[in-house]
Chain A
Amino acid sequence: MNYRRWAPALTILGTLTLGSCGGDQGAAEGGEILIGEYGSLTGTTATFGISTRNGIDMAIDEVNAAGGVLGRQVRVIVEDDQGRPEEAQTVVTKLITSDQVVAVLGEVASSRTLAAAPIAQQYGIPMITPSSTNPAVTQVGDYIFRVCFIDPFQGLVMATFATRSLGLTRVAILRDIRNDYSVGLADVFVENFQAMGGTIVIDQSYSEGDTDFSAQLTAIRAENPEAIFVPGYYTEVGLIARQARSLGLTVPLLGGDGWDSPSLIEIGGEALDGSYFSNHYSVQDPSPAIQAFVSAYQARFGETPDALAGLGYDAAMILFDAIRRAGSTEGAAIRDALAQTADFAGVTGTITLDENRNAIKPAVVLQVSGGQLVYVETINP
């Protein structure tokens, strides 16, 4: 069936049937504003989904305490997609058609957002992903936005950091060949690092789920690099760091935001000391807005917020800001207001959405040191 042709008819039908029995649900004036959220609350990336939900919950409680949006209270309906793309499609369809939410927040992983975004686009419901960095995500359509930077920018940040701040000229690459995020990041890093005069001494790969990296690391060791760029996820990075040290490779590892997890230190331990990765924000950033967020989060959830919590908070706040400016909860009006977001002071930096609905914002570089993540510097776009 051609959804695009049928969508308006279905929406009207849905509004008539559900709206009449549902009473004052999301679309109705004067009642609560309903927004939807979907994420991996269970499964292998459960910490991603839980942190994001915590951040969004904080934003909602804050805005409700301050009188709500357009004089109405905001309520979020959370759905668990178990980290599976097909489940993400199901729950987003439910949020839009059955719960009648005015906007959708989510997902963390690009693969899941890519699966669900076409549904939001078809129904004309704005979707903001807090932390999907793959460039293809917002290319789905004009209702899809993000509040994080995209992969090419992260690659550029680490190439800039490696050449300017660390003065490196010889770097090895170890990429996850089965992961679009990792391959994209590695490609951009290689391109920019070489343009800045550096040499890539060797380009090795592994596959997500591997546990033995000694063959690749031995090949890398033979080339004597000054650092290894490993743009993977935290589980493999921790194992890679351990095995590199036991092979006598002591050079620092460099990486991207896929490293950001409390488990990184648990797996990698001391082996990661002295390594750097780019991230969305640092809890050590002295700016008062960040410190207020960090202490409020700690008081409520008893742990330090990771970047995903900060991005979830920002995504929700940007949505409320757009609804306020739009003066309406109608999908197209929110979309137009979102597209005009400029210089929004978020926890994860000052956010401007460009014409491709991507956020233009700075990145931070963090160093792993003694089991802690230490803020090193901020790199602006």
Chain B
Amino acid sequence: METFLQQVVNGISQGSAYALIALGYTMVYGVLRLINFAHADVYMIGAFSGYYLANSSLVQTTLGTSVFAAVVVMVGAMAICACVGMLIERFAYRPGRSPAPHVLPFWLGILGAGFGYQAEGGAIPIFFGSSVGAMVGFFLERVVGIRPERRYSSLKVLIVAIGVSLFLENGGQIVFGADPKFFPQIIPTRPVQIGGLSVDSQRIVVLGVAILLMVLLNLVVNYTKTGKAMRAVSFNIDAARLMGINTDRIIAFTFALGSALAGAGGILVSLMYPRIDPLMGIMPGLKAFVAAVLGGIGSITGAMLGGLIIGLAEVMAVGYGQSTYRDAIAFVILVLILLVKPTGIMGKGMVDKV
């Protein structure tokens, strides 16, 4: 019995990690009807931002190991992720929806920076490469007149999302290096005994922060003016625009919020499992996606619930079955839920408008 309860505790702490990532998926889907596959890679960027912030001399010398240092690192990483999320939205997703200039200069600039890095590797070649790329981009956009096609089909948006995801994964391997790094222990850790159960103090903090973030998110979405606008865009984007809502700004805000949550998730999970690498987002991202579908995609409470169920199912499969079933169990659940209740536990039935 004690072992079983311990496994439940293990499952909840694993599940809270999935829930955090699932929140971002579900929010963007709720507003845009778009599965943002790059979300899991923003989570990776959050972990690496935290890694570099925590190892920076400023945090190391002035703050040391303290709760305050952890808060600084986390807020910093969330801010970085929010910016990355907004950039992705602006230059990858928005061009398919509304007029968005400078798309070609942006991507060709990044490409040029990559070439500069490959060729020489210093700040000047990178700057030179990105300037050349951006200028070529401006030329193509302004003079030749190559513009992104408006009104992507949802399939095209999905392919763009996968492309952004691959870009971040492989770019991460160049920028951060492919070898795993070890996330600094910014929160001191000690085992806490509750009855016969032992829990790491860190995991309690992680679970607490996850719940806090979810409550805050619910407040933002349900009780603020911006939240109301988000729900309006989600309900009917054209009607929302007619009512005077700046839909592009609301969507950008949604991406910023979702990406900040992914960044927080990256830090919290890295505290529990201190090994990070540029491909760390892939598996948790897929499982969080399953969690979002299981809970009912678009539903915030559902994402939390789905995450916990996946975490528990995984731990039970390993604890009482075979460790090799760990990755299979989430996908078995996905198949089952799609067969039995495709809208998920908390999902509302949707009728396609024709």
Contact = CB atoms under 8 A, between A and B. Distances in A.
Interface in A196-254: 204-207, 209-212, 214-216, 218-219, 221-222, 235, 238-239, 242-243, 245-248
A266 B14 CA distance: 23
A207 B324 contact: yes
B274 interface: yes
A177 interface: yes
Interface in B1-38: 2-3, 6-7, 10-11, 13-14
B324 A218 contact: no
B344 to A, nearest CB: 24
Contacts of B320: 219
A267 interface: yes
A44 interface: yes
A246 B200 contact: yes
Contacts of A222: 2-3
Contacts of B3: 218-219, 221-222
B149 interface: no
Given A43-B178, A210-B326, A239-B273, A218 B200 contact: no
A215 B322 contact: no
A238 B14 CA distance: 18
Given A207-B326, A216-B319, A219-B3, A247 B275 contact: no
Nearest to B13: A214
A263 B181 CA distance: 9
A209 B275 CA distance: 10
A235 B179 CA distance: 11
Interface in B304-354: 314-316, 318-320, 322-324, 326-327
A44 B273 CA distance: 18
Nearest to A269: B185
B191 A205 contact: no
Interface residues of A, number: 33
B56 interface: no
Contacts of A216: 318-319, 323
B275 A267 contact: yes
B179 A43 contact: yes
B61 interface: no
A222 B189 CA distance: 23
Taking residues whose C-beta sits less than 8 angstroms from the other chain, chain B's interface range is 35 or more
A269 to B, nearest CB: 8
A235 B319 contact: no
What secondary structure prevails in chain A residues at the interface with B?
Answer: helix
Contacts of A44: 178-180, 277
B10 A246 contact: no
Most chain B CB atoms below 10 A, which of A218, A235, A248: A218
B246 interface: no
A247 to B, nearest CB: 5
Interface in A262-312: 263, 266-267, 269
A275 to B, nearest CB: 17
A212 B17 CA distance: 11
A10 interface: no
A46 interface: yes
B275 A211 contact: yes
B118 interface: no
A239 B274 contact: yes
B193 interface: yes
B192 to A, nearest CB: 9
B198 A246 contact: yes
Contacts of B319: 215-216, 218-219
Contact of B323 (A46, A177, A247): A177
B182 interface: yes
26 contacts: A42-B178, A43-B179, A177-B324, A204-B323, A205-B323, A205-B324, A207-B324, A207-B327, A210-B323, A211-B273, A212-B14, A212-B273, A214-B13, A214-B14, A214-B315, A215-B314, A215-B318, A216-B323, A238-B182, A242-B274, A246-B198, A246-B199, A247-B6, A247-B191, A267-B182, A267-B275
Interface of A: 42-44, 46, 177, 204-207, 209-212, 214-216, 218-219, 221-222, 235, 238-239, 242-243, 245-248, 263, 266-267, 269
Given A44-B179, A218-B6, 6 more contacts: A44-B277, A205-B324, A210-B326, A211-B275, A218-B3, A239-B273
